[in-house]
Chains A and B, each alone.
Chain A
Amino acid sequence: MSMTAAVGHAHADPHHIGLVIEHPGPAPKRIVTAYGFWIFLLSDIVMFSCFFAAYAVLSGQTAGGPKGSEIFEQRNVAIETVCLLLSSFTCGMASIAADVRNRFWFYLGMAVTCVLGLIFLAIEFREFAGLVARGYGPSRSAFLTAFFSLVGCHGLHVSAGVLWLLTMMAQVFAKGFRADILRRMTCFALFWHALDIIWVAIFSVVYLLGGGA
């Protein structure tokens, strides 16, 4: 130990409290994977924040077209929200089932999550199609451009999530609860919950604030 002192720049104990916590070494794979995916989710949230910012800048630019309060249907949005929040719950159930290696509850949880996700997408698609049919497509005004992009970007994420979900079910069916598949399941669950968080922000910023004005 006198050796490191002689070298003169061992700063592990800067305040000389005699307690140096040594880094224990590389983290296990499960931790590393989930951590990396968290970082990805943060970057995804940064991307969403750009679309939120664009919406905030452009939401008043209706160019003679409709305002938010004229086109938002709160009932639909309420159903969408319930679907997504419930799907987060069922996704959590599927994760627990995967942890205890219970195939039946895993498939059931994932299947319900998938159905709820599809219902959400169907309602959103109907809302978009209805707006376009009335001539209120994204090219109508900058407000509609920002609206379609923000909500559509979330919709694309949910679609990708459904594709991922089906792939996960197929993987568990073909390979069982292998360690690498469980790691992917953790990532999928994180992804699905993150989409929920973003939806809560969309619900508040777009539909609640825009609907009242």
Chain B
Amino acid sequence: MLGKLDWSAIPFDQPIPLIAGAVVLVGILAVLVWVVVKGHLPYLWHEWITSVDHKRIGVMYILLASVMLLRGGSDAIMMRIQQAVAYQSQGYLPPEHYNQIFSAHGTIMIFFVAMPFVIGLMNLIVPLQLGVRDVAFPTLNSVGFWLTATGALLVNLSLVIGEFARTGWLAFPPLSELSYSPGVGVDYYAWSLQISGVGTLVAGINLVTTVLKLRTRGMNYLRMPMFCWTTLASNLLIVAAFPILTATLAMLLLDRYLGFHFFTNQAGGNVMMFMNLIWAWGHPEVYILVLPAFGIFSEVVSTFSGKALFGYRSMVLATMAICVISFMVWLHHFFTMGAGPDVNAIFGIASMIIAIPTGVKIYNWLFTMYGGRIRFETPMLWSVGFMVTFIIGGLTGVLVAVPPADFMLHNSMFLVAHFHNVIIGGVLFGAFAGFEYWFPKAFGFRLDERWGKLAFWFTFTGFYVTFIPLYVAGMLGMTRRMQHYDVAAWRPWMLVAAVGMAILTIGVICQILQLVVSIRNREALRDRTGDPWDGRSLEWATASPPPVFNFAFDPDVRGEDAYWDIKIHARQQSLEHEEREYHEIEMPRNSPTGFVCAFFASIMGFALIWHIWWMVILGGIGAFATFVVFAWRDHDEYVIPAAEVARIDRINLEERRSLVSMAGAT
């Protein structure tokens, strides 16, 4: 009746996951009770859960990413403590538990922190920058988000029901095959990624179509803000790469569920085919993450230097070059496979070539700052911190791109330090920069500068104190994923790294405090004009938070830095006071399709993991029925009357006029 599921699935003998699970459960229940008692449930349902507004969905993506960042960060703290104490001892985490933690840490940080964070920012900002009212497929957008949430739910469920994979974040066979991993851990891993992968693919298709087909009048390709370009590149990569992940995991699942022989050691299966396939997705994946971050830095550096982006066209070219070359370097993840010197040399050279467009970008940012009037506010601090950190990470990357060096450093702590250096220094710093930069746009008030700067300095310092020692440990021969070790020379570096982790944790606490303090002081921090940073692109041309329709009139774009042009026009000719005629606006109706669909997907995923076949069929029928009900509805849009549009727009216009006239006077 319940497949493989019985009481033994709950780890009563392991206090850590059980207590953690209980705390989370109590937390969720407390929030739910609070929501119901306070009567917020209808608001939550109508305004957020069923919302198809790209801004709301973007915010929910970022919220999911932030919560999961805490989960993945807790895993990281546990690992650092374990390696600090497990010298000539077993430490406090038994091997089977430690293996689950490093697997969960990697899986969560990539799929449920970095991905939703950048997708959330793209969702929130790109339609605004393009000057349009929504993304191409608003309801699908909601489906994509909720499927991602389903994946995150399943990963966290594994904490208390069953176990998570012990196979690392990419579940390499033959270890991940049924004969070596008979438990449900790998199934949790694979199904949660399959489900959230569908969500990511949907988001990718949606954003590619949005950028290519929905741009306001005059928004030619070469007038798009840099963030739109990197969004395009990143989502093209999603569309091209995520199906590879889906296919690869499907093959692994067929091996595990139906006794196929894709990656087994028997009957002619080929383990290295898995490595090739997974990294043919995995390498583009790192560019999927970092390209949007590059876009964020471009926006931030140009805004806070008070200058147009230096070398806009070379930046576009570099972005698209990275987009293409990222598919030609995957083999550098396994130079040790034995493909031979010729193949290794080609991939080594390709890996070095991809550093060139990245270098172009760094120089462009530096030249943008050169001669600019730089304001070192929090988003700019993250950007400058990124440039320094990412160069170090990039250089160690070029080092491991040299096959002979890679033979020494493969799977060592050096590698761990390298990819944390680029992913934290690149993606996470970028996400934080974007968070600080666009928070006023999303919520209508700025974040507290003092706590923001503290968060930056602690995180920045903590990063170096944590990961530079890992480079050293790698040089001393320490391999990754060690539950315990007996080499005295590694010990001090592990201790320093643990101290660094503590500093990083303080940084995260500062970030949380920043949010709390800012919400408390929101009246003082209010952004009334919608343009708190003296911005250059169209998202700053509307109110903060933007009205549901984004723009009362379709913006008319005449050049790069569209909003900057509008402002200069307005100052020189004094803003025209003639009243324009407002028109009614059609907007897509909210729909619970995404939430209901994800509900059935969760049931289906759980049932598949535990081999509860009747429940799988039930979930499948439910998901199909949801889409049919959606397809059957008669009204998919509602109308905002012209008077309402005028009322909302005039409030913001007044604020803006006073700002422009003040600026014009000085």
| A residues at B contact (CB < 8 Å) | 3-4, 6-12, 14, 21-27, 31-33, 35-36, 39-40, 42-44, 46-47, 50-51, 53-54, 57-58, 61-63, 138-143, 145-146, 148-149, 163, 167, 171, 174-175, 180, 184
Q: Are A7 and B219 in contact (CB under 8 A)?
A: no
- B650 contacts partner chain A, Cβ-Cβ < 8 Å: no
Per the CB 8 Å criterion, the residue count for chain B at the interface is 65
How many Å lie between the Cα of A8 and that of B564 in the bound state? 12
Nearest-Cβ distance from residue A171 to partner chain B, whole angstroms: 6
Q: In this complex, what residue of B is CB-closest to A50?
A: B247
Which 8 A-B pairs have CB atoms at the shortest separation, nearest pair first?
Answer: A61-B268, A142-B268, A10-B559, A50-B247, A47-B243, A36-B209, A139-B259, A25-B217
Q: In this complex, what residue of B is CB-closest to A3?
A: B569
Known contacts A31-B213, A141-B261, A142-B261; is A47 also within 8 Å of B268 by CB? no
Nearest-Cβ distance from residue A167 to partner chain B, whole angstroms: 6
Q: Are B559 and A9 in contact (CB under 8 A)?
A: yes
For A22, the chain B residues whose CB sits under 8 A away are: 217-218, 220
For B408, the chain A residues whose CB sits under 8 A away are: none
For A26, the chain B residues whose CB sits under 8 A away are: 132, 213-216
Q: Are A36 and B222 in contact (CB under 8 A)?
A: no
Question: 1/0 per residue B635-660: CB within 8 Å of A?
Answer: 01000000000000000000000000
- B246 contacts partner chain A, Cβ-Cβ < 8 Å: yes
How many Å lie between the Cα of A24 and that of B213 in the bound state? 11
Q: Are B262 and A12 in contact (CB under 8 A)?
A: no
Question: 1/0 per residue B551-579: CB within 8 Å of A?
Answer: 00010011111001100110010000000
How many Å lie between the Cα of A186 and that of B312 in the bound state? 38
Consensus secondary structure, chain B interface: helix
Contact of B219 among A23, A62, A143, A180 (CB under 8 A): A23
Q: Are A46 and B240 in contact (CB under 8 A)?
A: yes
Contact of B137 among A36, A138, A149 (CB under 8 A): A36
How many Å lie between the Cα of A57 and that of B208 in the bound state? 32
Q: Are B209 and A4 in contact (CB under 8 A)?
A: no
How many Å lie between the Cα of A151 and that of B474 in the bound state? 46
- B313 contacts partner chain A, Cβ-Cβ < 8 Å: yes
How many Å lie between the Cα of A14 and that of B313 in the bound state? 11
Q: Are A23 and B215 in contact (CB under 8 A)?
A: yes
Q: Are B214 and A23 in contact (CB under 8 A)?
A: no
Q: Are B205 and A40 in contact (CB under 8 A)?
A: yes
Nearest-Cβ distance from residue B303 to partner chain A, whole angstroms: 15
Known contacts A9-B559, A25-B554; is A32 also within 8 Å of B213 by CB? yes
Question: 1/0 per residue B196-216: CB within 8 Å of A?
Answer: 000001001110110011111
For A21, the chain B residues whose CB sits under 8 A away are: 220
Interface segment among B59-67, B269-277, B335-343: the answer is B269-277
For A3, the chain B residues whose CB sits under 8 A away are: 565, 568-569, 572
For B132, the chain A residues whose CB sits under 8 A away are: 26
Contact of A9 among B221, B259, B308 (CB under 8 A): B308
Q: In this complex, what residue of B is CB-closest to A146?
A: B262
For B628, the chain A residues whose CB sits under 8 A away are: 167
Q: Are A11 and B269 in contact (CB under 8 A)?
A: no
- B251 contacts partner chain A, Cβ-Cβ < 8 Å: yes
For A36, the chain B residues whose CB sits under 8 A away are: 136-137, 205-206, 208-209, 213
Contact of B267 among A24, A47, A140 (CB under 8 A): A140
